[in-house]
Structure 1
């Protein structure tokens, strides 16, 4: 069995708004699958349909090459969904929360095992309202794992976390993959998708606009390097060199760094505009996303 999820011609409309517009894709067994898109692109609606939280208008969802409904009892036992923090009861302890959710399934993992796995040992008897943001995220992942699922859905698992807490979550996700689980991940952080994902799908305006591995998507740019700098007039450089402005810097993609850099310097001198913080780097997934959608993932 190669595909644990297969989506065929999925549609979901709200009046004239095509939230999910005839999309098809597959998730392979044991991979980390990153589903990326700007706010309102359709990714959350798509995942909620797959998880059985929202009804589709048309199309097929096939699990494990034979089950066609997320409401099937077997499928409910085989998928785990990360809940948002506000889905928990503030006055329950970490242990009590896991015990409660475990009771919803025919089989479940003992709370203490999940507590150890998520490094929440010192917070076992702490109330949910006493946890930090990172600890709540780890608890949310623990709840998603309480039924020992084959497929784990993680929706923005590191949003709002500091860099160290984010790295801790990354380590947990990679360990889940090592255990043979399939991870379906949404994220607002491109570096997270680059670091974790085996395959990536980018959705915009309800349609899949690109898919492949990170390397395959970066190759779509057909550019070897990106020149990044600040200037006294970012807009004029953006227009002159067909670049983009990102985080108050100009980014220009090129396959000829020497010539492009010379032209930038000459233009700067002619227009008497200062340049600062010049950096040359390799293209990344953020560049692909900007090129395809015209905006950053967090817009």
Structure 2
């Protein structure tokens, strides 16, 4: 089964929290939707049928989600970040409860092995680590065995072992041809866990372009010179390409450049001088020896003292970027101010 959003939109208190969203996650694919916490919360309410006030349609295969009679669609499994479990139960008791709830043919031992909980079967949930509790919660999906899986912030604050187990589970679900949607506000998680990554912003849905690293054989092949149109950044072993208008600002720290997009930073191989030259035509300004800012994202120029200035950005954190005295004069000239 596939999960499909068709022109799904949500307004809350005269604000668009979910702009028009059209997206299909086919069978056997893990897709990540990187978005704000508010948009993520409202999407989960729509998927959980706790809110029917949004416009547009959500399909599980060809069935409209809001037209199903069941409180929860049997083919849709949702794992929430703040989902609770019975703390006084042992792991085994919890697994037994879930097996009976979903009338599953899977055994408690099978679920424990898949989530690496065999040695914790007789331990009470309240005595587990945070990551172990998250793995117990994920067993719900093993017993439910839905065709479509939605995970909220799947690896947030997890230890390395639990992240590895999560990746193995995602691969297993892909092999079973399930459709998997990850909802996250962390771009690194989105890129490292998913096959396809999308960003949902106030301007709509944008696909994040990534490139796998070249193999040794490929590096020997002479290619045409790279034509600049996007800014390449690195997340683990993947190169992520961003359109210049997406970038808020760029900072240089200890000789390395970092691209900031919606309060997340991504390392970039270009120097600040190289980026300054490449981004001038896109409306970027070298406001300080360590900063380049997208002038389209600047909301206000703040004067602290006669020789001290900063630029406030139009983002949720109202980020402030230093503006040096000499650059203040350049900015005035650019803006046609005296």
Same fold (TM over 0.5): yes
- Structure with greater strand percent: 2
Going from structure 1 to structure 2, the CA distance change for 1:45 and 1:246 (only over 3 Å counts) comes to farther
Q: Which position in structure 2 is the counterpart of 1:285? A: none
Say if 2:251 and 2:257, in contact at 8 Å, map to a contact too.
Answer: yes
| Compared CA separation, residues 184 and 224, structure 1 to 2 (3 A) | closer
Deviations 1:52-109 (A, max 9, x none): 2332332111111234437444972212121445511110111222222333335453
Contact 1:94 1:123 in 2 (8 A): yes
Distance 2:159 2:253 in 1: 19
* Residue of structure 2 equivalent to 1:251: 258
Instruction: Quote the residue 2:229 is aligned against.
Output: 222
Matches within 5 A, 1:1-299: 4-40=2-38, 42-69=39-66, 71-73=68-70, 76-84=73-81, 86-107=83-104, 109-205=106-202, 208-211=204-207, 214-215=210-211, 222-223=229-230, 225=232, 243-245=249-251, 250-251=257-258, 260=274
| Unaligned residue ranges in structure 2 (runs of 5+) | 213-225, 235-247, 260-266, 278-288, 291-296, 298-312, 320-338
Could you list the runs of 5+ residues in structure 1 that have no partner in the other structure? Answer: 228-241, 264-272, 275-289
Q: Check conservation: 1:34, 1:200, Cα contact below 8 A.
A: yes
Asked if structure 2 preserves the Cα contact closer than 8 Å seen for 1:63 and 1:75, the reply is: no
Question: In the superposition, relative to structure 1, how do residues 256 and 11 fare at CA in structure 2: closer, same or farther (>3 Å)?
Answer: closer
Secondary structure of the corresponding residue to residue 90 of structure 1: coil
Q: CA deviation at 1:188?
A: 4.0
- With a CA cutoff of 8 Å and minimum separation of 6, indicate the structure with the bigger relative contact order: 1
In terms of mean alpha carbon deviation, does 162-171 or 192-201 score higher? 162-171
Q: Equivalents in 2 of 1:198, 1:43: separation in Å? A: 19
Mapped to 2, the partners of 1:261 and 1:15 lie a distance apart of 39
Alpha-carbon shift at residue 145 of structure 1 (Å): 2.3
RMSD: 4.1
- Higher helix proportion, which one? 1
Could you tell me which residue of structure 1 aligns to residue 222 of structure 2?
none
SS at match of 1:145: helix
SS at match of 1:171: helix
Q: Normalising by the residue count of structure 2, what TM-score does the alignment of the two structures yield?
A: 0.62
